[in-house]
C-alpha cells in the first residue's frame, strides 16, 4: 500500500465531484455556448490537475523509487494546471462581454495572458532552479524564494476578472455575475485554508471542484435563447434610442421656435428703447437729459448683448449657426476694436495697448463678424475683470504658406486672474467663476463658451494662461486665406467712422429720395422716422401689408423697408404682391427686410425669400445709414 506524506482525502473527493460534473457537462452543456464549452474545459483541466497532485504525493512518498526529476516534472504539470484553471475562469467571464472591440478589454486580455505565460515559464525554470519549490534526494520538500507566486498569479488573474465584471456589469445576469465571483472566492478561501494548515491538508483542488459546481448553476441558457435575448435587447435599445432622438428633436424644435418668438418679442420694445434714446441724445439741448438717455441706451444695449449670447448659444447647440466667409480689411477690423474699447478702458482708468504687426496682409478671407465677436468678448471680459493696470492686445502674422496666413491674436490683462482649479469652468456654458466675488460683474456666463465653439468651427482653439491675482492671457491662431498680401501698415491712420458715436456728418442727405417704411408696430415707425429726420429723405409709412400695397400702387419708391412678421399679411407675401402689381411701379425697387427674429435671421435666408437685404432690430442709425448709402448714395 502506498503511504502519502499529505492527506489527499480532499483531492480524491474533489476528483469524485469533478468526474460527476464531467459526465453531466459532457451530456448537457459542452456544446451549447462558448462559455459552457470553456466550463467543460475547466473541469477537464481540474481533473488532470488532481491526478498530477496525487502522483506528486506518490513521488514524494517514495523518493527511492521515483526520481527527483519526475517529481519536478509533475510539479510543472500541476502548476500549469492550476494556472490554466484560473486563466480559463477569466476567459469564461469574458465570454459574456459583447463589446469585443473595447480597447480596455483588449488591454485586460493582454495583461492576463502575460500573467499566465509568465507563471508557466517560471514553472519550467523551477525544474532546474527550484525557485518555487524543490525536493531533495531523500524526499524532503522545500519551498523556494518565489513560492508565493503560486498564490499571487491566480490572485492577479482574479483581479482582472473583477475589472471585467465592473466594465461589463450590464451584460451579465445576476446569476452569472455572482457565480463567477463565487468561483474565485471559494477557490481562494480553500487556498488560504491549505496555507494555514502548512500544506498538510490539500484543499485547493477541493475548493476548485466546489466552485465549479456553483458555476454550473449558471449554465442553463441554450445558445439560441441567448441570441434571441440579445436581439430582443438590441431591438429594445434601438427603439428607445429612436424615441429619445425623436423627443430630443421635438424639444429642440420647440426650443428654437420659442427662442425665435422671444427674440421678436424682446427686440421689438428694445428697438424703441435704444432708438428713442439715440434720438434724444441727438436732439436734446439739456446735458442732463442727454446723459439720462445715454445711460438708458447703454442699458438697452447691454440687455441686447445678453439676448444675443443666449441666441448664439442656442444656434451653436442646435447646429444652426454657420460661418459666412468674405473678404475683409485687417486694419479696419483692428481699428474698430480699438475704437470700441479705448474709451471704455479710459473710463475705468486702464491703459489699453495695441501691439499690432504692420506686416499683416491687408486683406484676408474669413468670417470677419464672428472674429470681431470673439475679440469683443475677450476684450470686454478683460476690461470687466481688471481693476488696475493695462490690457494688451497683440496681433501678429506668425507664418505664411500656400496663399494663407496664420494670424495670432493675444489679449493679456493685469486683472484678478483665474485659479488653476477654475480654468476648466471657464469653458462651460452658464458657469460664472467665483460667483460671490464677481457678483457685481454683468454677464450670462456664455461668452467664453461661445468663443470656444466659434473657434472650433474655424479650426482653431482658445488657449488660456492665468496666474491668480496677477492676470490672464487669452490667445488663438486663425488660418485665413490671403486676398491682398500688401502690408496693412499702421491701423491707427485708417479713416473709419468712430464706433463710439453715430456721427451726424456721416449721415446721407438725399432730399430727392422717397422711401416707404412698413411695420405693424407704431412705435417702430416713429423710431425709424426719428432716426432719419436729419437725412431730408421723404418718408411714407404703412402699418400693414395691405396699406403698403395701396401706397406702392400709387407711388414709385427708391427704397422700401418691410417688416417680416406682421398679422394678416406678412412681409414676404407683401413683397411678392408688390412685385406682381399690374402697373409695376416698384417691381425693381430694393426691398429690405426689417426683422427682430435674429435666430432665423441670416442674410442669405432673407435673400432666398426675395429681399434685397436685411436690417435687424433694434435698428441703429449707423446700420440704417449704411443701407441708405448702399441703395440711395
- Structure confidence by residue, pLDDT tens digits, 532-556: 888 889 999 998 989 999 999 999 9
| 52 vs 559, more confident | 559
> Which ranges of 489-602 does DSSP label H, i.e. alpha helix?
522-531, 545-552, 571-579
Give the β-pairing of 559-563 and 591-595. parallel
What is the mean pLDDT of the segment spanning 124-137? 78
Handedness of CA 99, 103, 108, 112 (dihedral sign): positive
Task: Give the pLDDT confidence score for residue 411 in this predicted structure.
Answer: 92
User: How far is Cα 187 from Cα 194, in angstroms, rounded to an integer?
Assistant: 11
Note the pLDDT tens digit of each residue in 131-159.
887 776 666 667 778 878 877 887 788 88
- Please state, in angstroms and rounded to a whole number, the distance separating the CA atoms of residues 326 and 480: 11
| Burial (CB count <10 Å: 0-12, 13-18, 19+), residue 583 | exposed
| Residue predicted with more confidence, 573 or 618 | 573
Query: For the chain, what percent of residues have pLDDT higher than 90?
Result: 13
pTM: 0.44
Q: Say if strands 141-143 and 351-356 run parallel, antiparallel, or are unpaired.
A: unpaired
pLDDT over 80 at 277, yes or no: no
pLDDT the model gives residue 565: 80
Q: Are strands 613-616 and 591-595 parallel, antiparallel or unpaired?
A: parallel
pLDDT at 231: 65
| 80, pLDDT greater than 90 | no
**86 pLDDT tier (thresholds 50, 70, 90):** confident
CA distance 264 to 599: 9
Each residue's pLDDT tens digit, 163-173: 887 777 777 77
Rounded mean pLDDT of 98-115? 78
C-alpha grid cell, residue 506: 456721416
Q: Which residues pair with 411 in a beta bridge?
A: 393, 474
Task: For residue 407, list its beta bridge partners.
Answer: 397, 478
Pick 565 or 405 by higher pLDDT. Answer: 405
Q: Which of 290, 289, 394 is nearest to 338 (CA)?
A: 394
Distance of CA 218 to the CA centre of its chain: 41
Amino acid at each position: 500500500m502506498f503511504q502519502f506524506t499529505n492527506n489527499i482525502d480532499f483531492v480524491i473527493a474533489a476528483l469524485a465531484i469533478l468526474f460527476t460534473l464531467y459526465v453531466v457537462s459532457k451530456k448537457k452543456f459542452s456544446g451549447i455556448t462558448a462559455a459552457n464549452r470553456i466550463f467543460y474545459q475547466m473541469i477537464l483541466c481540474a481533473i488532470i490537475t488532481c491526478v498530477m497532485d496525487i502522483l506528486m504525493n506518490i513521488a514524494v512518498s517514495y523518493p527511492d523509487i521515483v526520481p527527483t526529476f519526475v517529481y519536478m516534472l509533475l510539479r510543472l504539470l500541476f502548476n500549469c494546471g492550476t494556472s490554466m484553471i484560473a486563466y480559463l475562469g477569466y476567459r469564461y467571464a469574458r465570454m459574456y462581454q459583447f463589446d469585443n472591440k473595447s480597447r480596455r478589454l483588449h488591454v485586460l486580455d493582454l495583461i492576463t495572458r502575460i500573467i499566465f505565460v509568465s507563471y508557466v515559464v517560471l514553472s519550467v525554470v523551477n525544474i532546474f532552479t527550484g525557485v518555487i519549490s524543490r525536493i531533495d534526494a531523500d524526499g524532503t520538500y522545500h519551498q523556494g524564494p518565489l513560492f508565493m507566486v503560486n498564490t499571487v498569479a491566480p490572485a492577479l488573474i482574479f483581479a482582472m476578472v473583477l475589472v471585467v465584471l465592473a466594465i461589463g456589469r450590464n451584460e451579465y445576469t445576476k446569476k452569472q455575475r455572482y457565480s463567477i465571483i463565487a468561483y474565485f472566492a471559494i477557490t481562494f478561501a480553500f487556498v488560504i485554508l491549505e496555507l494555514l494548515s502548512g500544506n498538510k491538508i490539500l484543499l485547493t483542488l477541493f475548493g476548485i471542484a466546489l466552485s465549479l459546481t456553483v458555476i454550473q448553476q449558471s449554465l442553463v441558457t441554450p445558445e439560441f435563447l441567448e441570441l434571441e435575448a440579445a436581439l430582443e435587447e438590441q431591438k429594445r435599445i434601438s427603439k428607445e434610442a429612436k424615441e429619445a432622438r425623436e423627443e430630443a428633436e421635438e424639444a429642440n424644435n420647440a426650443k428654437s421656435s420659442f427662442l425665435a418668438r422671444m427674440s421678436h418679442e424682446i427686440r421689438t420694445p428694445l428697438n424703441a428703447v435704444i432708438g428713442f434714446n439715440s434720438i434724444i441724445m441727438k436732439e436734446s439741448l439739456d446735458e442732463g437729459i442727454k446723459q439720462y438717455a445715454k445711460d438708458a441706451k447703454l442699458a438697452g444695449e447691454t440687455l441686447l448683448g445678453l439676448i444675443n449670447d443666449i441666441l448664439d448659444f442656442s444656434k451653436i447647440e442646435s447646429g444652426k449657426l454657420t460661418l459666412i466667409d468674405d473678404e475683409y480689411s485687417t486694419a479696419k477690423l483692428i481699428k474698430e476694436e480699438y475704437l470700441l474699447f479705448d474709451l471704455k478702458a479710459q473710463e475705468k482708468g486702464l491703459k489699453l495697448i495695441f501691439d499690432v504687426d504692420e506686416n499683416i496682409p491687408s486683406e484676408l478671407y474669413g468670417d470677419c463678424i464672428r472674429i470681431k465677436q470673439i475679440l469683443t468678448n475677450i476684450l470686454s471680459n478683460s476690461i470687466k475683470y481688471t481693476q488696475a493696470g493695462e490690457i494688451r492686445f497683440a496681433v501678429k502674422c506668425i507664418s505664411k504658406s500656400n496663399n494663407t496666413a496664420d494670424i495670432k491674436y493675444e489679449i493679456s490683462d493685469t486683472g484678478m486672474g483665474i485659479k488653476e482649479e477654475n480654468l476648466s469652468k471657464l469653458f462651460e456654458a452658464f458657469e460664472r467663476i467665483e460667483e460671490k466675488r464677481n457678483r457685481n460683474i454683468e454677464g450670462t456666463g456664455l461668452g467664453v463658451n461661445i468663443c470656444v465653439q466659434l473657434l472650433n468651427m474655424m479650426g482653431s482653439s482658445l488657449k488660456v494662461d492665468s496666474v491668480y491675482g496677477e492676470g490672464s492671457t487669452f490667445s488663438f491662431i486663425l488660418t485665413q486665406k490671403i486676398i491682398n498680401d500688401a502690408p496693412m501698415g499702421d491701423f491707427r491712420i485708417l479713416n473709419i467712422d468712430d464706433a463710439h458715436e453715430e456721427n451726424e456728418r456721416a449721415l446721407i442727405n438725399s432730399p430727392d429720395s422717397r422711401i416707404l417704411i412698413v411695420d405693424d408696430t407704431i412705435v417702430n415707425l416713429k423710431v425709424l422716422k426719428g432716426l432719419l429726420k436729419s437725412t431730408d429723405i421723404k418718408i411714407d409709412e404703412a402699418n400693414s401689408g395691405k396699406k403698403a400695397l395701396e401706397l406702392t400702387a400709387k407711388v414709385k419708391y427708391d427704397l422700401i423697408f418691410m417688416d417680416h412678421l406682421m398679422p394678416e399679411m406678412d412681409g414676404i407675401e407683401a413683397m411678392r404682391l408688390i412685385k406682381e402689381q399690374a402697373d409695376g411701379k416698384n417691381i425693381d425697387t430694393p426691398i429690405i427686410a426689417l426683422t427682430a427674429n435674429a435666430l432665423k435671421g441670416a442674410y442669405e435666408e432673407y435673400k432666398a425669400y426675395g429681399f434685397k437685404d436685411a436690417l435687424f432690430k433694434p435698428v441703429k442709425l449707423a446700420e440704417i445709414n449704411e443701407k441708405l448709402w448702399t441703395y440711395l448714395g
